[in-house]
Amino acid sequence: MSSDGGDETGVPSGETATDGERPRTTGIADAWDPVSGDVALDDSRLYLNRELSELEFQERVLYEALDDRNPLLERVKFLGLLTKNLDEFFMKRIGGLKQQMAADVTELTPDGRTPEQQWAEALEKARPIFERQVTSWHDELRPALAAAGIEVVDHDDLTASERAGLRDYFETSVLPTLTPLTFDPAHPFPFLSNLSLSLAVRTQREGEDVKFSRVKIPENRPRLVQVGDDDDVFVPLEQVVAANLDLLFPNVDILDYAAFRVTRNAEVRRNEEVAEGLIEMIEGVLRERRFATVVRLEVEEGIHPDVRDLLVTQLELDEREVFERPGPLDFRDLRRVADLDRPDLSLPSWTPKHHQSLARFGSEDDRSVFEIIRRNDVLVHHPYHSFEETVQSFFEEAAHDDDVLAIKAAIYRTSADSKVIQSLIEAARNGKQVAVMVELKARFDEENNLRWVRRLEEEGIHVAYGTIGLKTHSKIALVVRDEADGVTLYSHVGTGNYHAETAKTYVDLGLLTADQAIGQDLTRVFNFFTGHSFHEEYRKLLVAPVTMRETFVEHIRREAEHARAGEGGRIVAKMNALEDPAVVKELYEASQAGVDIDLIVRGISRLRPGLDGISENIDVRSVVGRFLEHSRIFYFHDRGDEAFYIGSADWMTRNLDRRVEAVVPVEDESLREELRFILDTLLADNRKAWEMQSDGSYVQCRPGENEPVNTHEVLMERATRNAPDRESREIYDAESPLAPGDIDR
């Protein structure tokens, strides 16, 4: 397997590799200080803080931009992604903490912090992340881009001819969209929309007082403006606006200007019990979110002190919520640079491959997807397998199959032009019974989901909007088909959304099965969505909030019992977040019993690994690379009677207790081998993996003298070689990077 280039020390540009040193994040708290005697497993020191752990993950995202082993445009992409992630962190997590503070909540978290303590520590930890982001842009990435012929230049550095051309562009294409808003006794302080980039402009007419005006940088104009005819030279739009303010404010003196940006709380909630309907409630939330409390103010370095004070006062901010730094303040639009057609500066392109079971060719072209699934369960793995030719094909064929009686699906997020939704509409038009659960409370997708609800209802499709008190996060679909031997149920249970675009970059798994017990379980779940009562027993599915927590705890305790009996115990769990204190405590007890535990947790982890007498048998690692690790896999050895599960739930309190989730057992031995290979590869990764330390910091893995193992490269190569060959139909079976059966060691 080839590496992705560059030095293999594992040290980002600007850092020096020495023996025993590897890049690491800053940590959450001091390392565990051993205490004599027994330590109660509910001791707050054993639990890391959720918000600070999330910022640890953002540091790992930042390292992808810093790591000069990555291609240049990949680094630029991660720099922009970091802004998007931190925007959401402030809107959701900091916003939620401010709400708790305003309500005088003083309840301590499992790690022993009040909302105010978390708020203050999170702001303090976020500040150096912003500073390092902007430093890496100015000192490393921007110069490297220029050396490669891609320039993001300052307006002041342009030639007179280039400035004249941009002035013409501004006057014809930008100026008509601008609306300067002045704050003075005759004009109220302007409303500042969430995440909008603005210029604070101070002007003065002779003999009059200085005036403050806000100029919003238009979001419907390209943020990076092309200079002349050169496709690879750009200037930020805010600089073009600033250079031409005289056209916006004629006959006054422009004293100074500076960019600024506000972030508002997205944690706007309404009482579901008193809302007349979920649609009305969500529409209200969307309206209120526009005017929600400001949780962060970003200002350009050098902003006039009077302007800074004015913004802080009018927005009712604490100085700790102000982040001042050199521009640009918003790196999200660097995606335009990252997407430039420069193969020499990018990762090799990736096209998802045909699935060896679902691809149809030769004499078997006439097989239906249902014949294939009825013969054997099918495990799909995105983005290694094509979403269009697997999951989407499942819906499309169901919509047009004369024998299909009904289709049911739960939609949490989907694309604006979703072909899955279109297939459901076509199914209804073809006379099939269609029921769709659309979760209106999917944060930041509420508006998109509202549009789909109206579209589906226009077609006469029965739509459930969600449930009171619970958010539906399960990724499930059910097809009811009339066959020669009776009605057969075909199911899909996945870890990711029915979203064709995110399926190209999010790593997710899905099980397609004709197992009737699973189908009957899904029938019960869908009946809950459209009815009013929740079944408490299921044949095979683990369903939250009724059976999932209990079953996972039983599995963990069973491994502990085996270990105490000298029969060994083994748990491997892959998820996005490990937050639930009760599950963490169970894992500590299993470790104390001698269970060997590997946790692959992309983001938040409350658990401290490597504590003597408590968690020395637990390893935690995080993999951050070109694809977003989004799948959930749970493995329990059970003295060789192994259990494998995949599904939508993380080990978070919200997933286990406050959401409708579905996790499905994988029982086919060949599919278990697929999951085993995936877990083995993740555990062997020494290129994109980070090892968690007991203080909450992470140390980046590096190959050293070993062959580099990059999970995403291994699985792309395997998918390529496993794709059906139209001539020989041979299937490649790659060897695991670890010894066979490593996860059940």
H-helix or E-strand spanning residue 557: helix 548-564
Same domain flag for 435 and 468: yes
Statement to judge: residues 674 and 613 lie in one domain = yes
Residue 160 corresponds to which tokens in the numbers above?
A: 């007179």
Q: Are residues 395 and 504 in the same domain?
A: yes
Percent of the chain whose predicted confidence (pLDDT) is above 90: 76
- For residue 80, give the CATH number of its domain: 1.20.58.310
What is the model's pLDDT at position 10? 36
Q: Are residues 670 and 587 in the same domain?
A: yes
Structure tokens at 53: 């752990």
Same domain, yes or no, for 724 and 665?
yes
Last residue of a domain, one of 338, 371, 405: 338
Q: How many CB atoms lie within 10 A of CB 399?
A: 22
The domain that contains 437 carries what CATH number? 3.30.870.10
Q: How would you label 512-544 residue by residue, b for 16+ Cβ within 10 Å and e otherwise?
A: bbbbbebbbbbbbbbebbeeeebeeebebbbbb
pLDDT of residue 361: 40
Relative to beta strand 643-647, strand 633-636 is antiparallel
Indicate the number of domains in the chain.
Answer: 4
Distance, CA of 555 to CA of 573 (rounded, Å):
12
Closest CA to 450 of 402, 411, 405: 411
The angle at the Cα of 55, spanning 49 to 59, to the nearest 5 degrees, equals 140
Residues 68 and 136 sit within 8 Å (Cβ to Cβ): no
pLDDT at residue 462 is higher than 90: no
Say yes or no: 634 and 577 in one domain: yes
Kind plus residue range of the DSSP H or E element containing 680? helix 669-684
Same domain for 211 and 263, yes or no, is yes
Q: How far is CA 453 from the centre of its chain?
A: 24
According to DSSP, the residues that pair with 573 across neighbouring strands are 599, 634
Same domain for 177 and 140: no
Task: Encode pLDDT of 510-561 as tens digits.
Answer: 999 999 999 999 999 999 887 767 888 999 999 999 999 999 999 999 999 9
DSSP 24: B
Which pTM does this prediction carry? 0.91
Taking 90 as the threshold, does the pLDDT of residue 409 lie above it?
yes
- Identify the DSSP state of 686: -
Residue at 500 is within a domain: yes
**What local confidence, expressed as pLDDT, does residue 38 receive?**
79
Give the DSSP per-residue string, 148-199.
TT-EE--GGGS-HHHHHHHHHHIIIIIGGG---EEEBTTBPPPP--TT-EEE
Range of the domain at 483: 362-530
Tokens of 519: 């189908």
Mean pLDDT of the chain: 89
Q: Which residues, other chains included, contact 292 with Cβ-Cβ below 8 Å and sequence gap of 6+?
A: 95, 194, 264, 265, 266, 267, 268
**471 and 495 belong to one structural domain:** yes
HSE of 640, CA atoms in CB hemisphere, 13 A: 1
Tell me which residue of 339, 299, 265 sits closest to 81, measured CA to CA: 339
- Where in the sequence numbering do the catalytic residues fall? 473
Dihedral of CA atoms 643, 649, 650, 655 in degrees, nearest 10, equals: -130
Please write the tens of the pLDDT for every residue from 377-405: 999 999 999 999 999 999 999 999 999 99
Instruction: State residue 741's pLDDT score.
Output: 46
Let me know whether 370 and 288 are in one domain.
Answer: no
Q: How far apart are CA 203 and CA 182, in angstroms?
A: 10
